[in-house]
Amino acid sequence: MEEDPARAAKRKMIEERVRLAKEQQARQEQTQAAVGPQPKGKALSREEIISKMNTVPVFVVLNQGKDAVSIKDEATGIETIFWHLEPFGAKAHLDAVVAQNPGVVGLHLGVMSLGVAYPLHAGWEDAVSTSTTPRTGATGGSRADAPAKLRHRIVAEPAAGIDLPVYVCGELQNEQMMPVYFNKRDLASAWVSSGRSANSFTSDKLMAVELAKLVEDMQKPVYSLWHTVRFVTSGAAIELLTCQSAANKMVDKAAAKEQAIANGDEPPPLELPSLS
């Protein structure tokens, strides 16, 4: 019995699709054999994440004894030590602490690393070396004065409903480095520095994610290149640290000169004769 033409055409179409599918599978198998096995995702340990964060400075208010200073958080009413990723926020916080504690002398901004602040912020105290953990205390107090209930909070510029955002851009990462920025300004600057035009940088070029979410994902084997993550210090923080370094060098140089004069290694400065 002769096959119905419509059914025969449908059968041939199905056979052709099967043939094409088999050819495509064979090509994929050949490509996979040539490339070799792909690396599986590797989770990072907390210690590895802390090591990456150690290159990022954070600013905190210290007292004369170099203890981190806490104040009562207006939102929670709990004594809190605030760690700032941006220097302008840290300066404003210092002014607020000084205003609230007019009798406390020696309040100033100190610099620690995000690798110290984040474990405290996230409750990873067991992952922080005691040699790098700052002493903490209530305003003007010492470690012995520290309140039993004390929180740590990292402060950054919020964005899109995210309190502690970081920014990534797929076009700026490769197999050697996945840069993670703490503000959009620095990401935009990196975009231009890479040779791209400023006008081509649009909001769809970046992704904002909560730092805690990124850190959580870095501890899961869902991505093979977590080891390439590099946290990028903000330009404002680098500028402040550079200015502080230059000022400290000038102070050290002046102190060294005074000591040399006192030891008799250098002559005292000449006194100009009075014209009166």
- 115 in the Ramachandran plot: left (φ > 0), alpha (ψ -120 to 50) or beta? alpha
For 200-228, the pLDDT digits (tens) are 888 888 899 999 999 999 999 988 889 99
Query: What mean pLDDT, rounded, does the chain reach?
Result: 78
Q: What is the pLDDT of residue 87?
A: 85
3-state secondary structure of 182: coil
Which element (helix H / strand E) includes 61? strand 57-62
* 120, 70 Cβ separation under 8 angstroms: no
CA angle 172, 174, 176 (to 5 degrees): 125
* 209, 215 Cβ separation under 8 angstroms: no
For residues 239-245, give the mean pLDDT.
Answer: 66
For 122-153, the pLDDT digits (tens) are 998 665 543 344 544 444 433 334 445 789 99
Q: How far apart are CA 232 and CA 185, in angstroms?
A: 12
For residues 34-40, give the mean pLDDT.
Answer: 50
3-state secondary structure of 58: strand
For residue 1, list its beta bridge partners.
Answer: none
Overall pTM > 0.75 = no
Question: Hey, what CATH class is 46-155 in?
Answer: alpha beta
Q: Where are the domains of the chain?
A: 46-155, 165-234
For 54-65, the pLDDT digits (tens) are 999 999 999 999
What letter represents residue 193's amino acid? S
Of the candidates 60, 110, 113, 81, the residue with the CA atom closest to the CA atom of residue 233: 113
